[in-house]
A and B are shown apart, each in its own frame.
Chain A
Amino acid sequence: MTWTIIILLAVGVASLRLLGMYGGTALVRRVPMFERLGSLIPAAVVSAVIAQLTFASGKSLTIDARSAGVAVAAVLIWRRAPIIVVILAAAATTALLRL
């Protein structure tokens, strides 16, 4: 990774963030339906990230120790456990299953 690549990657990522904040927000404010859409975006996009981080192994899907760790986290979240307990339990479950 050269300095040019680091800068290109950073400029691209920053531009997307700024485009969303200014262009995306303007669009959402102009079209009333988009306002409710905007409030639903975090649930949809963050869930997609969770799915990818939980089941992706390269280009394939897999159920492994990591998925089990996230499943334990899901149960604890449902039981309204504190966030620290949730992440420690997820890591511990995953690590134990890999022993």
Chain B
Amino acid sequence: MSETSTSARPEWGTLIGIGLTFFAIGVTVNVLVYEHVGSAVKTIAAAGIVLSATSELAYVAVRDVGGSLLAALIAGWVVASRFGLLAASLGTRIQVGHLQRSCAALNCLDPNVGVAMQQSTPKGVITAFWWVTGALHLGWWCGTFTGVFLGNIIGDTNRLGLDAVFPALLLAIIANLLRQKPGLVAALVGGGLCAALLPIAPAGTPIILSLTGAVVALKVREPKVAPS
């Protein structure tokens, strides 16, 4: 993610891409949640106050296969624990008051932290964070209302290939990190470990254990920059 020459605002193309992706996610997730919940008000409320598509999906998935309420809740929480890790990471790079810090924490998602952490100054980090947060909220809410009220017209969203949009966006966001050796090692170990554990570990735990990738990457030395 590149910065514009004058500010830390991500490029408009990046923001539009993030907005479109969250529109697609909003439609996809809320068609499923609405089907499970059966109430437009509850679906929209859950979209707003949980603000985690993967937590909602984890809850619905466990309930759909006959899991208990507690098991479904725990799955939803465990899946969301990555936001705590991302919030911890973001927290070290911002210099803001408690109110803004708390608001930022409650809005921590993969793309906004991913873009923000690539900025070079604390001001740049928080500026990029809020720009991306705005773009993803716009997309998410438009997608949520579309999914709830037009879901029956749209039908199966996977038919449109929307399930490939989110991983593609995330890959684009961390691309700059992958071009550096420590970031590449963290990603390969974290992603590989997660994939290996998916069939055997409880829902959500492979993502937490992917933290191992960051620990392993600590051993990788960053290339020295030649003096100019």
User: Interface majority SS on A: helix, strand, loop or mixed?
Assistant: helix
- Residue in B105, B162, B170 whose CB lies within 8 Å of A50: B170
Q: Which residues of B contact A18 (CB under 8 A)?
A: 87, 102, 105-106
In the complex the two chains form, what is the Cα distance from A71 to B58 in whole Å?
25
Q: Which residue, of B49, B187, B212, B217, has the highest number of chain A Cβ atoms within 10 A?
A: B187
- Residue in A10, A37, A66, A77 whose CB lies within 8 Å of B214: A37
- Residue in B50, B59, B105, B186 whose CB lies within 8 Å of A40: B186
B-contact 0/1 string along A17-31, CB 8 Å cutoff: 111111111011100
In the complex the two chains form, what is the Cα distance from A67 to B88 in whole Å?
31
Are A44 and B83 in contact, CB atoms less than 8 angstroms apart?
A: no
- Residue in A8, A12, A91 whose CB lies within 8 Å of B160: A91
Q: Which residues of A contact B50 (CB under 8 A)?
A: 6, 9-10, 13
Whole-angstrom distance between the Cβ of A57 and the nearest chain B Cβ: 10
B-contact 0/1 string along A54-67, CB 8 Å cutoff: 11100111000110
Q: Is B9 an interface residue (CB 8 A)?
A: no
Interface range, A side: 35 or more
Q: Which residues of A contact B84 (CB under 8 A)?
A: 16-17, 19-21, 24
Are A65 and B161 in contact, CB atoms less than 8 angstroms apart?
A: yes
A-contact 0/1 string along B17-48, CB 8 Å cutoff: 11011001000000001001100001001100
A-B pair count, CB < 8 Å, reads: 302
Q: Which residue, of B33, B195, B211, B215, has the highest number of chain A Cβ atoms within 10 A?
A: B195
Whole-angstrom distance between the Cβ of B194 and the nearest chain A Cβ: 4
- B80 nearest CB neighbor, chain A only: A13
- Residue in B51, B106, B164, B184 whose CB lies within 8 Å of A94: B164
Interface range, B side: 35 or more
Are A93 and B164 in contact, CB atoms less than 8 angstroms apart?
A: yes
Q: Which residues of B contact A17 (CB under 8 A)?
A: 80, 83-84, 87, 105-106, 108
Are A40 and B218 in contact, CB atoms less than 8 angstroms apart?
A: yes
Report 19 cross-chain contacts, Cβ distance below 8 Å, ordered by A residue: A1-B59, A9-B73, A9-B77, A13-B51, A13-B52, A17-B106, A18-B106, A39-B89, A41-B89, A41-B186, A44-B186, A44-B211, A44-B214, A48-B210, A49-B170, A66-B161, A73-B168, A91-B162, A95-B160
Could you list 6 further interchain pairs (A-B, Cβ under 8 angstroms) beyond the known A25-B92, A39-B117, A40-B213?
A9-B56, A16-B84, A47-B188, A47-B213, A77-B172, A87-B17
